[in-house]
């Protein structure tokens, strides 16, 4: 009797959550429709000089081509590329030297950033790079980001409006030949970016940044408090956008799509990376993270089929949820982001969503993240090393 009651409760709960997932997929498609409205035409006379900031560490897949794509820009103004490394012995320096030899007409410089200013090495480098920048408009992105030839022009265009303090860009993942890499690319295209579009629609704009690209003015950066407060933050891209928005500037989500290279993750590496990402989102947007429970409609519909022993109603519900989930994946992932891999790996959508629900729940089990081989505790989005956390928790006098 008790087992039957539990099964009925699970069946009822998963029915509601599967229906919520169905509604979410439809809402995401509606939000995508809103995003597809044409952007305002760019002002041809607004081409400010730009410093592209690229903190780097080690070698990434496709790094040479990613770097080269930044040198093929069709931009009427001047721009420079500033690379920041913790040491001139870093292997990335050789890749930068190859870039300089291939594009001698471009202004490309390397800045050594020897000081360790906090646990976020990227931000530590940026603090030390900024004084070397020649210009007052910046584009910040990672070493594995590949861009199109009009990238700089399209990132700068919205900033002709002085109210726009930051421009950020959608991105898709280029997967390597491993199950974990393909799962992550699929998640970016069919889960992460739909969530961004939903947040943009609900909040009537975007109030955070995406790590794929952060384009901003020196005025907006200074008004937000600069890079220094971010050296302890894990979600530095999110925080920079949020702080610029809080300073009174608008954040613009561009239609320009960039591409990131995803490592050849083994499944365990994929799960660890996703878990770190999940705990980062939970620390940055706790309410929004809890709300993600409704986005796993396909996983909930699967559990509903199991709880109901496969009755016809649950199978019909699964079919409807599955079709709307496919529609969202194809409409946003393949349609807006132009990710051709979505069609190829569409069969992985079901296992990916089931795994994602498990990782969503697992993120609540701990505040620990592993980043660059070191364990940290997340405290309101800030990184605190576990060794420091243990010392602070020990009784005085021990």
Q: At 44, is the pLDDT very low, low, confident or very high (cuts 50, 70, 90)?
A: low
CA–CA separation, 325 vs 29, rounded Å?
10
pLDDT at 307: 86
Q: What is the pLDDT of residue 376?
A: 77
pLDDT tens for 150-193 read 999 999 999 999 999 999 999 999 988 889 999 999 999 999 99
Give strand pairing partners of 340. none
Q: Does the pLDDT of residue 389 top 50, yes or no?
A: no
Centroid of chain to Cα 52: 19
Give the pLDDT band of residue 42 (cuts 50, 70, 90).
Answer: low
Structure tokens at 158: 């919205």
pLDDT in tens, 226-263: 999 999 888 889 999 999 999 999 999 999 999 998 98
Q: Residue 289's pLDDT band (boundaries 50, 70, 90)?
A: confident
CA distances from 250 to 163, 220, 242, 253 (A): 6, 10, 10, 10
Task: Name, in order, each residue with C-beta under 8 angstroms of 265's C-beta and a sequence gap of 6 or more.
Answer: 176, 178, 180, 181, 184, 273
pTM over cut 0.85: yes
Q: Report the distance separating Cα 326 and Cα 339, nearest Å.
A: 14
Contact call for residues 126 and 84 (beta carbons, < 8 A): yes
What average pLDDT does the segment 353-374 reach?
A: 84
Q: How far apart are CA 27 and CA 190, in angstroms?
A: 14
């Amino acid at each position: 009797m008790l087992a039957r009651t539990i099964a009925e409760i699970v069946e009822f709960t998963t029915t509601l959550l599967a229906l919520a997932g169905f509604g979410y997929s439809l809402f995401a498609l509606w939000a995508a429709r809103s995003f597809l409205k044409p952007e305002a035409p760019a002002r041809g006379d607004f081409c400010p000089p730009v410093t592209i900031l690229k903190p780097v560490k080690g070698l990434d897949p496709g790094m040479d081509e990613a770097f080269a794509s930044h040198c093929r820009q069709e931009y009427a103004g001047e721009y420079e590329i500033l690379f920041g490394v913790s040491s001139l012995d870093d292997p990335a320096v050789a890749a930068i030297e190859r870039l300089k030899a291939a594009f001698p007409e471009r202004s490309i410089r390397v800045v050594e950033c020897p000081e360790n200013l906090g646990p976020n090495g990227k931000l530590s480098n940026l603090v030390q790079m900024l004084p070397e920048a020649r210009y007052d408009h910046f584009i910040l992105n990672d070493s594995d980001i590949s861009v199109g030839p009009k990238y700089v022009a399209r990132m700068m265009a919205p900033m002709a409006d002085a109210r726009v303090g930051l421009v950020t860009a959608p991105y898709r993942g280029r997967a390597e030949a491993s199950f974990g890499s393909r799962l992550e690319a699929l998640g970016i295209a069919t889960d992460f970016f739909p969530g961004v579009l939903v947040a943009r629609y609900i909040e009537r704009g975007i109030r955070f940044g995406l790590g794929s690209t952060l384009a901003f003015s020196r005025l907006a950066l200074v008004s937000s408090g600069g890079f220094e407060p971010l050296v302890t933050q894990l979600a530095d891209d999110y925080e920079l956008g949020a702080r610029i928005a809080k300073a009174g500037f608008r954040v613009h989500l561009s239609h320009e799509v960039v591409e990131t290279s995803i490592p050849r993750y083994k499944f365990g590496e994929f799960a660890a990376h996703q878990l770190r990402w999940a705990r980062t989102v939970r620390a940055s947007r706790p309410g929004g993270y809890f709300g993600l429970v409704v986005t796993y409609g396909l996983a909930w519909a699967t559990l509903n089929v199991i709880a109901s022993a496969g009755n016809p109603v649950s199978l019909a519900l699964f079919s409807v949820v599955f079709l709307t989930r496919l529609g969202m994946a194809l409409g946003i992932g393949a349609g807006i982001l132009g990710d051709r891999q979505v069609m190829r790996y569409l069969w992985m959508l079901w296992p990916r969503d089931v795994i994602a629900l498990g990782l969503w729940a697992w993120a609540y089990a701990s505040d620990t993240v592993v980043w660059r081989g070191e364990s940290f505790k997340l405290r309101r989005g800030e990184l605190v090393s576990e060794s420091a956390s243990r010392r602070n928790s020990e009784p005085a006098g021990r």
